[in-house]
Amino acid sequence: MGEIKDSYPLDEYPDVVEEEIEFPGEIYIAYAVCGNSCGIRSFIVDGQTQVCQSCGKLMYRTYIKKYKLA
């Protein structure tokens, strides 16, 4: 797996109030693949980072589907 970056101390993260979180009604999710030498396959939210969490190179988005909040 790729190099793990340092994280912040727990008290350095913002407080999150569940009732203030608004999930979108629909999103697009892509099935992405990394190069043959890496082999990682993953679902990613369309428009978000395509950087492979294993090797750090860009993944290729193959198919994209729309998902609606249930």
User: If we measure between CA atoms, which residue out of 50, 56, 24, 65 comes closest to residue 42?
Assistant: 50
Q: Which helix (H) or strand (E) holds 26?
A: strand 26-33
Domain that holds residue 58: 29-70
Q: Is the pLDDT confidence value at 7 over 90?
A: no
**Mean per-residue pLDDT, 18-39:** 95
In a domain, 61, yes or no: yes
Q: Which two tokens stand for residue 59?
A: 């993944």
Q: Which residues pair with 64 in a beta bridge?
A: 30
CA distance 44 to 40: 12
Model confidence band, residue 3 (pLDDT cutoffs 50, 70, 90): low
Q: How many separate domains does the chain show? A: 1
In a domain, 55, yes or no: yes
**Mean per-residue pLDDT, 2-9:** 71
Query: pTM of whole model > 0.75?
Result: no
Q: Write out pLDDT tens, residues 58-67.
A: 999 999 999 9
In a domain, 36, yes or no: yes
Q: What is the pLDDT of residue 6?
A: 79
